[in-house]
Amino acid sequence: MSNTKNIVTIDGPSGVGKSTVSRKVAGALGYTYIDTGAMYRAVGLFLDRLGVDVGKPEDLSRCLGDLRLDLRPPVEELGDVCVLLNDEDISDIIRTPEAAMVASRISAIPIVREKLTEMQRLLGVRGNVVAEGRDIGTVVFPAARHKFFLDAEPGERARRRVAQLRERGVEVDEGEVLAMTLERDQNDTEREISPLRQAEDALRIDSTNITIEEVVTKILQKISEKTG
């Protein structure tokens, strides 16, 4: 069983700033950061490349048996985690809006979720982690001591995503990113298995009108109040 005392979960919809917030919180606490979205993106790329018929559970199960995922700390401080898929560095190619859409689609498949949930629990087995995603506080680590749910208006989330992608040199149209954000919200909240929702014992933080730094401060304050 994980040391749930030292597990921080940060869930929320796409573009809400979870990654930046999680990395900063993990850095401040000296914890390991687990980016579960990167894991879904990697599996999306893996299945897409193989052209697997996701409607056939036996094919899917066989392919997933060949999947080796390795998550390594970012090269730069506050950079993205390094993701190796069967030894190939796919860190950059999974960061496009298209890769995110594929991830959102394959994340509704039960066997994919089972496999990744198991891997995520193993990564958290020793505690001292900050894990971000959609179902971390509800399904992956339901007994975690510190749970947060970040939210922000879709327009603001799309603007942040555009700024983040442009910083990486990826040119995108804001209207298209907003449409993709809304579609992913719908996929992620309406799927049958582990849909995106706030855990009852998670603290909700709306970041529409506050900065990432303010969100980080709020989270660290709450953790410190609880741990004394």
Residues in contact with ligand DC by CB under 6 A are 14, 36-37, 40-41, 100, 103-104, 107, 133-136, 184, 188
Joined tokens for residue 224: 């410190």
CA quadruple 118, 7, 22, 197: dihedral, nearest 10:
70
- The distance of closest approach from Cβ of residue 28 to ligand DC in the complex, given in angstroms and rounded to an integer, is 21
**Angle formed at CA 96 by CA 92 and CA 101, multiple of 5 degrees:** 130
| Residue 169: both structure tokens together | 């040199």
Nearest distance in Å: CB 55, ligand DC = 19
Tell me how far, at minimum, the Cβ of 89 lies from ligand DC, in Å.
17
Q: Is the Cβ of residue 59 or residue 80 nearer to ligand DC in the bound state?
A: 80
Closer by beta carbon to ligand DC, 103 or else 223 = 103
CA distances from 63 to 50, 70, 104, 169 (A): 8, 17, 19, 33
- Cβ 110 to ligand DC, closest distance in Å? 12
Closest distance between ligand DC and the C-beta of residue 19, in Å? 7
Closer residue to ligand DC in complex, CB, 6/133: 133
* Residue 78 zone, left/alpha/beta (φ > 0; ψ -120 to 50; rest): left
Q: In which region does residue 170 sit, left (phi positive, over 0), alpha (psi from -120 to 50) or beta (all else)?
A: beta
* Residue number with CB closer to ligand DC (83 or 225): 83
Q: Give me the least distance between CB of 40 and ligand DC, in Å please.
A: 3
Residues with Cβ within 8 Å of 151's Cβ and at least 6 positions away in sequence, in order, are: 12, 13, 16, 204, 205, 206, 207, 208
Nearer to ligand DC, 108 or 225 (CB): 108
List the structure tokens of 20. 């930046």
Find out whether 32 and 171 touch, Cβ atoms under 8 Å.
no
Tell me whether residue 6 or residue 22 sits nearer to ligand DC (CB atom).
22
